Copies of this chain bind each other. A is one copy, B any other.
């Protein structure tokens, strides 16, 4: 288990701080993650990688000349926020454009894609290569749905080498994409992992069994078999990878044998002994093998094998020098000035507003405080029910989000902002600090509400109905979840329908919201009858039957708390 922890909510930040202290010669902290300590040459493509924390050396350990220019570091097992991706990218961008590369997980795709749009809006050229090496996570027909695991390293390394050679953004992108197309991994697990501060593992594997294809956050695998010997495991891994050769695979391959956490170097070497013999027997020449911890999941026990089928161009790039805290090859000449870190964007100018909107804004900051108190009171329970179907971080994520949102909302209000700007500031802070899919969606929804409220008028019941509906559309269009998928959408849609119906029938806003909150609560309870259909960390999905969805419960709690507060305000408290 994970024992050395202070405040679990601060774990990822403290880890980054300690990492930077230990590797001050190679990396610097930038808002949202880390960057190489020295500037790359002007005009060079910047390679920005990232994802959730808890997979060291992915992603912080892979930053340096010949590898990534920056790594965006999310909370434990949670995607970084859009704002983090933008900040790290802006810090390392050198005029040659940015390649974003990361493992293919829903939350990461959402935030990196949103960041790509924002960066392009700022005139920066951006391309994306998602790593999809895990052959057990989807069939070869649905190859773009596959998850990214240790194959990350090869794709990042080849992208970093191509960028260091001064190639253009299109060339770097093509080479990284080609590396991904030719990379296949298979993982096995003997045990799950325990997140910092948790007393129970996030997921488990039965004692004496091995789960084939189990994902690094506990995503479902293909099969459970009896524990093999080291040689039998080598045989299984090599056979499965040789059975799915990518187009153009020759006879030369980069080989990674990755330990997921508590499998030790000695065991990896015993296993690699047989892997190297089997590959040799199959006529495969191993190029620049790596045996060690390359993409981990805390104390998860397991290994993965990765083969990247090289052509001569990829082979040269794989063998090019690189110098990062966790991966080094050859000699890299020290280049570049020590980096000057760009601060995170400060709060922008206050939009013009009115006394009417200021009065609404005052109510909004009060409501933010109420929501914060509501989440605080329910954080453990939200975590508990999320752990049944997901990765158990929902409560903590919501807490981080609303805390930041309330703080930013107060700051904006104190600076004189109107209702819309207060809510927009809160929305962006929520998305930035909460991270993960739910953080991005809550941020997006609040932002839409804020945009509809604006900074001038007092909103009436119809305006609020439009705002809620806009939030609903933003979430369903961006998140992709549908009614019945056991997500917050299962509460959001009935709530939106109930509110619009009540307003349509002539109810005042508060009464309508009471109906909406009641519909939301009923729908949240109803999610207990559902089984999740999509998303990451769904090992325990079927076991969650009988337990409501954490995101759905959050939304219904927030809706009820808002109604209770407004009712007591209206009745004069």
Contact = CB atoms under 8 A, between A and B. Distances in A.
Oligomer copy total: 2
A573 B291 CA distance: 57
Given A15-B269, A18-B276, A19-B269, A230 B5 contact: yes
Most chain-B CB neighbours within 10 Å: which of A17, A264, A266, A273? Answer: A266
A424 interface: no
Contacts of A227: 3
A331 B331 contact: yes
A22 B296 contact: no
A59 interface: no
B22 A291 contact: yes
A273 B18 contact: yes
Interface in A256-279: 257, 261-274, 276
B264 A18 contact: no
A6 interface: yes
A37 to B, nearest CB: 15
A54 interface: yes
A301 interface: yes
A408 interface: no
Contacts of A57: 265
A266 B11 contact: yes
Given A15-B269, A276-B21, A264 B298 contact: yes
A262 B262 contact: yes
A2 interface: yes
Interface string A1-16: 0111110000100111
B4 A230 contact: yes
Interface size class of A (residues with CB under 8 A): 35 or more
Most chain-B CB neighbours within 10 Å: which of A6, A227, A233, A298? Answer: A6
Given A2-B264, A57-B265, A231-B6, A18 B298 contact: no
A249 to B, nearest CB: 22
Contact of A269 (B22, B190, B276): B22
A231 B11 CA distance: 12
A48 to B, nearest CB: 21
Interface string A54-69: 1011000100000000
Contacts of A15: 266, 269-270, 273
B267 A2 contact: yes
A328 interface: yes
Nearest to A190: B3
A2 B299 CA distance: 13
Contacts of A328: 328
A22 B231 CA distance: 16
B262 A21 contact: no
Contacts of A257: 22
Contacts of A196: 266-267
A122 interface: no
Contact of A271 (B18, B261, B271, B301): B18
Given A269-B18, A271-B18, A56 B291 contact: no
A229 B18 contact: no
Given A22-B289, A22-B291, A296-B264, A270 B6 contact: yes
A274 B7 CA distance: 13
A16 B331 CA distance: 26
A78 to B, nearest CB: 14
A51 to B, nearest CB: 14
B4 A271 contact: yes
A397 to B, nearest CB: 18
Most chain-B CB neighbours within 10 Å: which of A18, A57, A257, A289? Answer: A18
B53 A266 contact: yes
Interface in A231-270: 231, 233, 257, 261-270
A262 B53 contact: no
Q: 4 closest Cβ contacts across the A-B interface?
A: A18-B273, A18-B269, A4-B267, A331-B331
Interface of A: 2-6, 11, 14-19, 21-22, 53-54, 56-57, 61, 190, 196, 227, 229-231, 233, 257, 261-274, 276, 289-291, 293, 296, 298-299, 301, 303, 328, 331-332
Given A4-B263, A18-B276, A54-B266, 13 more contacts: A3-B263, A4-B229, A4-B233, A5-B229, A5-B230, A11-B266, A11-B270, A15-B270, A18-B273, A22-B272, A196-B267, A262-B299, A265-B296
30 contacts: A3-B227, A4-B230, A4-B233, A4-B263, A4-B267, A5-B229, A6-B229, A6-B230, A6-B270, A11-B266, A11-B270, A14-B230, A14-B270, A15-B266, A16-B269, A18-B268, A18-B270, A18-B271, A18-B273, A18-B274, A18-B276, A21-B272, A21-B289, A53-B266, A54-B266, A56-B265, A61-B265, A262-B262, A265-B296, A266-B298
